[in-house]
Chains A and B, each alone.
Chain A
Amino acid sequence: GAGVSQSPRYKVAKRGQDVALRCDPISGHVSLFWYQQALGQGPEFLTYFQNEAQLDKSGLPSDRFFAERPEGSVSTLKIQRTQQEDSAVYLCASSLGLRDRGSPLHFGNGTRLTVT
């Protein structure tokens, strides 16, 4: 496709349920990021992949959050035992090369997760 695709677009989960959010980056993009955007806030970094390697997961808020990119393309962000504070928009972004300080990212439209 032409851009970064995320699914589902909206997800409602009952507290305690597990959820899986999918990201299809632009074909051939090496770098992939997940960000969390709480209501009224800017996106906050969660994790970074370079191909299939997860090089940085320092932004994951707890061990309930897990991300993978097993074949270096599609990525899944999984949240176990969801809590209300997990309600946010989860953004995926990709870029063609290795990250440097000047390269912009291509963002998907995000998945809005609501935990009830």
Chain B
Amino acid sequence: GDSVTQMEGPVTLSEEAFLTINCTYTATGYPSLFWYVQYPGEGLQLLLKATKADDKGSNKGFEATYRKETTSFHLEKGSVQVSDSAVYFCALPNDYKLSFGAGTTVTVRA
């Protein structure tokens, strides 16, 4: 079935550093792609999404572009803050279910 493979962590950065988390997908068609975020002590929440090739999803300074040529949906942020410390999951729908990557733990130090 359709699946995603996500860069393993953990990732530790200093404030204002550039963040990239790699995600590649395997799919028979062109599904929507999602990034979810899980802040400490909180539930998963949708960070951003893209519904078709070449779409760019963006939210809270994060961006990800749906690239059909490289089957990728890498997450980027130009200048991270301590409050961005969280676990990030790439995901895609498998029919009505979501398939998640293993998650990447990001820690931002002041």
Is the A/B pair a real complex?
A: yes
How far is A43 from B42 in the complex, measured between Cα atoms in Å? 14
Q: With A40-B103, A42-B100, A42-B103 in contact, do A102 and B45 touch (Cβ < 8 Å)?
A: no
Question: Scoring B residues 26 to 61 as 1 if CB is less than 8 Å from chain A, else 0, what string do you get?
Answer: 000001101000000111111001010000000000
Contacts of B93 in A (CB 8 A): 99, 101-102
How far is A17 from B9 in the complex, measured between Cα atoms in Å? 35
Question: Scoring A residues 24 to 48 as 1 if CB is less than 8 Å from chain B, else 0, what string do you get?
Answer: 0000000101010000111111001
Question: Scoring B residues 1 to 15 as 1 if CB is less than 8 Å from chain A, else 0, what string do you get?
Answer: 000001000000000
Interface size class of A (residues with CB under 8 A): 20 to 34
How far is A110 from B89 in the complex, measured between Cα atoms in Å? 16
Contacts of A44 in B (CB 8 A): 100
* Interface residue count on the B side (C-beta < 8 Å): 24
How far is A81 from B97 in the complex, measured between Cα atoms in Å? 27
Contacts of B51 in A (CB 8 A): 102
Contacts of B45 in A (CB 8 A): 107
Question: Scoring A residues 74 to 89 as 1 if CB is less than 8 Å from chain B, else 0, what string do you get?
Answer: 0000000000000000
Contacts of A100 in B (CB 8 A): 96
Contacts of A40 in B (CB 8 A): 102-103
> Shortest 8 CB-CB distances between A and B: which pairs?
A99-B96, A42-B100, A107-B44, A107-B43, A109-B43, A104-B46, A45-B97, A102-B32
Q: What would 5 A/B residue contacts be, using CB atoms closer than 8 Å?
A: A43-B44, A48-B96, A99-B93, A101-B93, A102-B51
5 more CB-based (< 8 A) A-B contacts, given A101-B32, A109-B41: A40-B102, A42-B101, A56-B97, A93-B44, A105-B46
